[in-house]
Amino acid sequence: MAKIREDFEGAVHVDGFVLVAGDEVPEGVRIGAHLTGVEPAPVEDPDTDEDPDADEGDFDPLAEEPAPAKPRGRPKKVQ
The pLDDT tens digits of the residues spanning 13-71 come to: 999 999 999 999 999 888 888 888 877 667 776 665 565 555 566 767 777 777 667 76
Q: Helices in 1-79 by DSSP H: which ranges?
A: 33-36
pLDDT digits (tens, 9 = 90+) for 57-79: 676 777 777 766 776 778 778 87
For 3, phi then psi, to 5°, come to: -125, 155
- Residue 66: CB atoms within 10 A of its CB come to 6
Alpha carbon 47 to its chain's center? 17
Contact present, 30 and 13 (Cβ < 8 Å): no
| pTM attached to this predicted model | 0.47
